[in-house]
Amino acid sequence: MNALLDDFLLRALLGGLGVALAAGPLGAFVVWRRMAYFGDTLAHAGLLGVALGVLTGLSENLGVLLACLGIALLLVVLQRQRRLATDTLLGILAHTSLSLGLVGLALLDNVRIDLSAYLFGDILAVSRTDLLWIWGGGLLALTVLVLLWRPLLAITVHEELARVEGVPVAAVRVSFLLLIALVVAVAMKVVGILLITSLLIIPAAAARRFARSPEGMAALASLGGCLAVCGGLAGSLRLDLPAGPAIVVCATLVFVAGLLWPQRR
């Protein structure tokens, strides 16, 4: 019994750490580029991905990934028209995809879906297959981010100047959106649809106070996410709390502690 308990706790810890390591550097760019609502939109699309995965017989993880990638690409296409602002488009896509997902799941009369596990995460049920999905997707995202680091940083600082210097702004922007979609898809199992964006934003926001360079902020954001995962799992086991929300609460505590920490002049 103890061995079984240790095994599922180890899988939960490895899954959470894999998501935190990938979400930290991407979250730094989300904070810099003020794209928090884009993460929410992709998170809402995750439920549509679950419905598509079940309806088509694909795995739910693959369905979530395809839905997130599709929403990211659709946003790129819609942004080419200048009639509606980006935040308006994100609001439309977020609520439409969430509603379509709920309607799709309601049509599955012969399949029972635990919505709470998708909404708030089910990290304690992470399997070995999920670990391969999380770490494989996370390592892929980090590898691509390393390759895109300089051009992405350039367009974040000054997009027009980066374009003059020859940076392929459109390609870099689309690649970044797809990376966020990938991380959102792999993170859904850990913190759930409603809380994914918090794991992207809160550790990065906490790291911003202490970082002296972009690379330093990315590393500190990953460290903060790992601390939140460890603290959330410990609180979940000791106090019988839902693991996903407990992780987010710990991330918030890390952020508050950073605000209260005396800053050197």
Instruction: Kindly state the tokens that stand for 83.
Output: 């009639």
Q: With contact defined as beta carbons under 8 Å apart, do 17 and 186 qualify?
A: no
Backbone φ/ψ region at 192: left (φ over 0), alpha (ψ -120 to 50), beta = left
Q: What is the pLDDT of residue 103?
A: 85
The whole-angstrom separation of Cα 22 and Cα 37 is: 19
Q: What is the pLDDT of residue 1?
A: 46
Q: What is the pLDDT of residue 50?
A: 84
Residue 10 lies in a domain: yes
Q: What are the residues whose beta carbons fall under 8 Å from the beta carbon of 14, sequence distance 6 or more?
A: 126, 131, 135
The whole-angstrom separation of Cα 220 and Cα 238 is: 27
Helix ranges restricted to H, the chain = 2-32, 36-56, 60-78, 86-106, 115-120, 128-157, 159-164, 169-191, 196-208, 214-239, 243-260
Residue 108 lies in a domain: yes
The CATH number that applies at residue 86 is 1.10.3470.10
Residue 103 lies in a domain: yes
Q: What are the residues whose beta carbons fall under 8 Å from the beta carbon of 204, sequence distance 6 or more?
A: 24, 27, 28, 30, 31, 217, 221, 224
CA geometry: angle 154, 160, 164, nearest 5 deg: 85
Domain count, the chain: 1
Q: What are the residues whose beta carbons fall under 8 Å from the beta carbon of 192, sequence distance 6 or more?
A: 117, 118, 119, 120, 121, 122, 244
Instruction: Kindly state the tokens that stand for 42.
Output: 């992709």
Residue 181 lies in a domain: yes
Residue 201 lies in a domain: no
Residue 31 lies in a domain: yes
Give this prediction's pTM. Answer: 0.86
Q: With contact defined as beta carbons under 8 Å apart, do 74 and 90 qualify?
A: no
Q: Which domain holds residue 23?
A: 1-191
Q: What is the pLDDT of residue 4?
A: 46
Q: What is the pLDDT of residue 6?
A: 64
Residue 182 lies in a domain: yes
Q: With contact defined as beta carbons under 8 Å apart, do 150 and 225 qualify?
A: no
Query: What is the chain's pLDDT, residue by residue, as a tens digit (265 residues)?
Result: 455 456 778 888 898 899 999 999 999 999 888 888 888 888 888 888 888 888 887 777 788 888 888 888 888 888 777 777 888 888 888 889 888 888 887 777 776 776 777 777 788 788 888 889 899 999 999 999 999 999 999 998 888 888 888 889 889 988 998 898 888 888 887 778 777 888 889 999 999 888 889 999 999 999 999 999 999 999 888 888 888 888 999 999 999 988 887 765 5
The whole-angstrom separation of Cα 136 and Cα 110 is: 32
Cα 56 to chain center, whole Å? 24
Residue 107 lies in a domain: yes
The whole-angstrom separation of Cα 108 and Cα 259 is: 47
